[in-house]
Amino acid sequence: MERGNQTSVSEFLLLGLSDQAEQRQLLFMLFLWMYLLRILGSLLIILAVSSDPHLHTPMYFFLINLSLVDTCLLSTTFPKLLANLQTQDKSIPYAGCLAQMFFFLLFVGLDHFFLNGMAYDRYVAMCHPLHYTTIMNPRLCALVITGSWIISSLHALTHTLLVLRLSFSSSHEILHFFCDLYQVLQLSCTDTLINELFMYLLTVVFGVFPFTGLLFSYTPIVSTILRIPSASGKRKAFSTCGSHLSVVSLFYGTSLGVYFSSTSIHASRKGSIASVMYTVVTPMLNPFIYSLRNQDMKRVLINMFRKNTLFS
């Protein structure tokens, strides 16, 4: 890439997922429906949990927070993505790019923490059921949520402030549908060593360490389930954590796969297409995974629809 002498940039160009008009129209309709389905899924979860006192537990408290964060994550990238697919204007202001980067990092970080909070909740419920109400008290839940917001905000703010110190070349085309941190660093004409060190360090902290925490939570859970003598008991026990395990596998499998992929993938449009899996598909599927694989959620949703049918 040719480096220019430009020290500031007023806007970036998001090249998106496709340059072909037919594909853009198809992608617009597809992503619009996915976005609407995600909002609908979040509303269903909030209504289901708030309408049934049996769901007023720490697990579903974390689930509502996770659902709201996933909706915010999609809202960070989707409006600009849909606008770019409909129009020829692919520009995003410099300040808008930094804001998008900040909120994207913030909500992804919150996803990591909330999934770990839910995993710990399942660990206590399965391995220490007699002490569940004592351990998973409202104070601990509030502390987890508050701490998650503080740490994730500091994480996102660190990266954003480090980008502010950079100068950029005359080329300001981002091979992505949003302001991805890695792509923005590639456009800098100044030394990005500090930025890259923080990026890889915090990727490990917010990726590998939480994933290790999930393994420590689910290893004793699986061991406990395997010790249950009856097959029906094992199925019932697994149903309480199966939906969460599916979401965790989908989220970490796609995100770690993208960020630990080769540099050539990051530097091409294939990287942006691969990122769709964890930035778009995973947040969209989360509410439906919890609704379809969770017996309590299915029971509440069925009762809600039956009541609406009777009153209509």
Instruction: Tell me the three-class secondary structure of the chain, residue by residue.
Output: CCCCCCCCCCEEEECCCCCCHHHHHHHHHHHHHHHHHHHHHHHHHHHHHHHCHHHCCHHHHHHHHHHHHHHHHHHHHHHHHHHHHHCCCCEEEHHHHHHHHHHHHHHHHHHHHHHHHHHHHHHHHHHCHHHHHHHCCHHHHHHHHHHHHHHHHHHHHHHHHHHHCCCECCCCEECCCCCCHHHHHHCECCCCHHHHHHHHHHHHHHHHHHHHHHHHHHHHHHHHHHCCCCHHHHHHHHHHHHHHHHHHHHHHHHHHHHHCCCHHHHCCHHHHHHHHHHHHHHHHHHHHHHHHHCHHHHHHHHHHHHHHHHHC
Residue 310, pLDDT score: 57
Neighbours of 256 (CB within 10 A): 15
Residue 299, pLDDT score: 76
Residue 180 has which token pair? 């991805």
pTM score: 0.85
Residue 83, pLDDT score: 87
Residue 45 has which token pair? 């979860």
Ranges of the chain whose pLDDT falls below 70: 1-8, 18, 171, 236-237, 239-240, 242-244, 254-274, 277-278, 287-288, 290-295, 308-312
Q: Please name each of the domains of the chain with its CATH number.
A: 11-311 (1.20.1070.10)
Return all residues near 117 (Cβ < 8 A) that are at least 6 apart: 62, 141, 144, 145, 148
Judge contact between 91 and 8, C-beta under 8 A.
no
Residue 8, pLDDT score: 63
pLDDT one-digit tens code per residue, 231-278: 777 776 676 676 667 777 777 776 666 666 545 455 555 656 667 766
pLDDT one-digit tens code per residue, 119-136: 898 889 888 888 999 999
Residue 25 has which token pair? 């129209």
Closest C-alpha to 124, from 37, 220, 212: 220
Neighbours of 247 (CB within 10 A): 24
